[in-house]
Amino acid sequence: MIDKDKLDEVLEQHKLWLDTEGKKGKRANLRYADLSDADLEDANLGGANLKGADLINANLSGANLRYADLSDADFRGADLEGANLWGADLEDANLGGVKF
């Protein structure tokens, strides 16, 4: 599992990337990351790469996932209540038991 400090740094750099339209910071690359049980409530992950990520039982309530690559991600038991998934790639994602 990715440690909290590393995740916080990725989220901070991604926010800067979004706020500056890519001029500063870095797009979040959490491809195949183990984010099971992570608390990502209200996180701004718009446009992030979460392909194949393990998000089992993660809290993503209120998260911005617009245009994120969520293909092959495992969301079993995750909380996506109020999350914005507009334009997200959910191809082959496992959404079993997800709370919407």
CATH number at residue 87: 2.160.20.80
pTM of the model: 0.94
Residue closest to 78 by CA, chosen among 99, 62, 49? 99
User: Is residue 14 a part of any domain in this protein?
Assistant: no
Name the domain count of the chain: 1
Write out the residue range of the structural domain in which residue 79 sits: 29-100
- The predicted-structure confidence for 9-36, as pLDDT tens digits, reads as follows 999 999 999 999 999 999 999 999 999 9
Give me the pLDDT at residue 48, please: 98
User: Is residue 17 a part of any domain in this protein?
Assistant: no
Give me the pLDDT at residue 86, please: 98
What is the phi-psi region of residue 38: left when phi exceeds 0, alpha when psi lies from -120 to 50, beta otherwise?
beta
